[in-house]
A and B are shown apart, each in its own frame.
Chain A
C-alpha cells in the first residue's frame, strides 16, 4: 500500500465515494503522486468487480424487445441518412437482403416486432402521472399520441408511412407565438410504428412533426404532418 499520507483516500476514490471536496483535492494530488497512482490502479479491479457481487438475475425479455425496437429504428435512420440513402439498392444487394430476411436474424426481428406496442419510457422519475394527448395527423390512416409525464413527453405514431427517401421526421416544439424550435428528435417508422422522446415540454403549447432532409433542419422546411396541443 502507498506510504503517502493521502493513500487513505485511494479506496474511497475508486469507489467514487469521496465527497466533492475531498475528491477534488485527491484528484489534484493524484496527478503528481506515483505511489497513489499505482495504488488506485491496483484497487480499480476489485472495485469494478463489485458490479458482480450480487445475485445474478436475467432481465425480462420485454426489456430487450423494447431496447431493440429503439435500436432498430435508429439503425434504420442511420442507414437512411447514410451516403447511399437515396440510391436504389443494386440487384446484388437486394438479393443478399432477401436471403437474410429469411434467416434467423429476420425471424428474431419479426419476433421482436410481434410483441407489438412496447412502451419505452427512458426516464420516469417516481410515479408521476402520464397524460395522453391525441394529435392531429394529415396522413390518412395514421395516428399519433403524445404522452406527457411531468415536464417530459414522448410521441408515439401508428400507421405512418416513412418520409420520402433521404428524409426523416423531425419533432418541433412551439411555445406561444415563437417560431417552432427543434426538439432534437428525429425518427423514421418501422412497419408504420415509431416512438420518440420529445424531451422537455415545459411551457410548450404544441408538439409538431415535419418531414425534413436527413440530418434534420434548424427550422421546419415543410408543413407539419403531426400537430398536438399539449
Chain B
C-alpha cells in the first residue's frame, strides 16, 4: 500500500525543512521529501529547460530526466558545494545540453524566448513562486545592464550550449574577444547581483 512519507515525519514538517535536510530524506528513498523538493524547484527547472530546448515536450523530458536522476542519485548531492537549487538547475542545464546535442535542430535554434507568453495560457503561482519570480527578475535585470555583445555571448553559451569557438564563428568575432566578453560580462553581472550572487555560492 502506498505511504508517501515515513509515518514519523508528517508532511507539514517536511515543508518546514530546508532543502539540504530534505535531500537527506530523499537519499533514504522518502518520496514525500522528494515531492517538496520538486515543488520548490520545478518552475525554475522547467523554465530553464524550456528556454534551452525550445519546446514543451522536450522541456518536460529534460525536467523528468533531471528530477528522476536527482531521486535516484541524491547521494551525489554535497552540501559543501552549493545549494540544492544550484545543484538541481545544474543537472537540468546538463540534461538540456545533452538534449540539444542529440537534437538535429541544434544549429538552427537560437537562445530566444520570444513568444513564450502566448504559448502558456494558465499559470499557477503560489507566493513562493512569486518570490522566486522576483529573484528571477533580479537576475534578468542584472543581465540587461550588460552591453549587448556581452549579454549575447553569455546567453549563447549558457542557454544555447555553444562552445566559445562556435560562438566566435557564428558572430564572426575573434575567439579572444568572445572569451573576453564572457569574462567581463560575468564580472559585471556579479557586481549587479550583489548579495544575490553570494546567495548562489
Binding site for B on A (CB under 8 A): 1, 7-12, 14-19, 22, 41-61, 63-64, 66-68, 70-72, 74-76, 78-79, 93, 96-97, 99-101, 103-106, 108-109, 113, 120-126, 190
Contact = CB atoms under 8 A, between A and B. Distances in A.
Given A12-B164, A46-B190, A108 B47 contact: no
Contacts of A190: 2
Contact of B201 (A44, A70, A104, A123): A44
Closest 10 CB pairs of A and B: A11-B183, A11-B182, A59-B46, A17-B157, A51-B89, A78-B29, A46-B189, A96-B7, A54-B51, A75-B31
Nearest to B34: A71
B3 A100 contact: yes
Given A55-B113, A106-B2, A68 B63 contact: no
Nearest to B89: A51
B127 interface: no
Given A16-B157, A58-B123, 16 more contacts: A8-B180, A11-B183, A12-B157, A12-B178, A18-B163, A19-B165, A46-B189, A46-B197, A48-B82, A54-B48, A54-B50, A57-B116, A59-B43, A59-B46, A59-B60, A66-B64
B176 to A, nearest CB: 7
A145 to B, nearest CB: 20
B190 A15 contact: no
Contacts of B173: none
Contact of A105 (B11, B38, B140, B200): B11
A2 B165 CA distance: 22
Contact of A63 (B46, B48, B124, B125): B46
Contact of B48 (A9, A11, A51, A99): A51
A187 B17 CA distance: 30
A19 B163 contact: yes
A103 B43 contact: no
Contacts of B71: 71, 74
A113 B67 CA distance: 19
Contacts of B157: 12, 15-17
Contact of B29 (A44, A57, A75, A123): A75
